[in-house]
Amino acid sequence: MRHALVTGGAGFIGSHLVDSLLAEGWQVTVVDNCDPFYEEAVKLGNIASHQAAPHYQLYRIDIRDMAALCKTLTAEYEVIVHLAARAGVRPSIMDPLTYQEVNVQGTQNLLEFAKEKGIKQFVFASSSSVYGVNPHVPWREDDHVLMPISPYAATKVAGELLGHVYSHLYQMRFIALRFFTVYGPRQRPDLAIHKFAKLILKGEEIPVFGDGSTRRDYTFIADIIQGIRGAMAYRATNYEVVNLGNNQTVTLNEMITTLEEKLKLPARIKRLPEQSGDVPQTYADVSKAENLFGYKPTTNFDGGVAAFVEWLKKS
Digit-coded pLDDT (tens) for 63-83:
999 999 999 999 999 999 999
Instruction: Over range 265-272, report the average pLDDT.
Output: 94
Q: Considering the domain 3-184+220-247+283-298 in this protein, what is its CATH number?
A: 3.40.50.720
Measured between alpha carbons, how far is 186 from 13 in angstroms, rounded to an integer?
Answer: 8
Q: Is the pLDDT assigned to residue 134 strictly greater than 90?
A: no
DSSP 8-state secondary structure symbol assigned to residue 264: T
Q: Among candidates 66, 246, 241, which has minimal Cα distance to 156?
A: 241
pLDDT digits (tens, 9 = 90+) for 167-205: 999 999 999 999 999 999 999 999 999 999 999 999 999
Measured between alpha carbons, how far is 296 from 185 in angstroms, rounded to an integer?
Answer: 20
Instruction: Over range 7-28, report the average pLDDT.
Output: 97
Q: pLDDT-derived band of residue 278, with 50, 70 and 90 as boundaries?
A: confident
pLDDT digits (tens, 9 = 90+) for 139-156: 999 987 788 999 999 999
Compute φ and ψ for 157, nearest 5 degrees: -60, -45
Any alpha helices (H) in 1-147, and if so which ranges? 12-23, 40-46, 66-72, 89-94, 96-99, 106-117
CA within 13 Å, CB half, 245: 29
pLDDT digits (tens, 9 = 90+) for 300-312: 999 999 999 999 9
Domains of the chain, by residue range, sit at: 3-184+220-247+283-298
| Strand, coil or helix: 6 | strand
Query: In this predicted structure, which of 19-28, 103-112, 273-282 has the lowest mean pLDDT?
Result: 273-282
Catalytic residue among 152, 183, 283, 295: 152
Instruction: Over range 27-44, report the average pLDDT.
Output: 92
Please say whether the beta carbons of 7 and 63 come within 8 A: yes
Counting residues of the chain whose pLDDT is more than 90, the rounded percentage is 88
| Burial degree of 264 (CB within 10 A; 0-12, 13-18, 19+) | exposed
Q: Is the pLDDT assigned to residue 130 strictly greater than 90?
A: yes
Q: Is the pLDDT assigned to residue 115 strictly greater than 80?
A: yes
pLDDT value of residue 275: 78
Q: Is the pLDDT assigned to residue 10 strictly greater than 90?
A: yes
Q: Is the pLDDT assigned to residue 31 strictly greater than 90?
A: yes
pLDDT digits (tens, 9 = 90+) for 219-264: 999 999 999 999 999 999 999 999 999 989 999 999 999 999 999 9
Instruction: Over range 11-28, report the average pLDDT.
Output: 98
pLDDT value of residue 252: 95
Q: pLDDT-derived band of residue 123, with 50, 70 and 90 as boundaries?
A: very high
Instruction: Over range 89-102, report the average pLDDT.
Output: 95
> Is there a catalytic annotation at residue 152?
yes
pTM score, whole prediction: 0.95
**Residue 132 Ramachandran class (φ > 0 left, ψ -120 to 50 alpha, else beta):** left
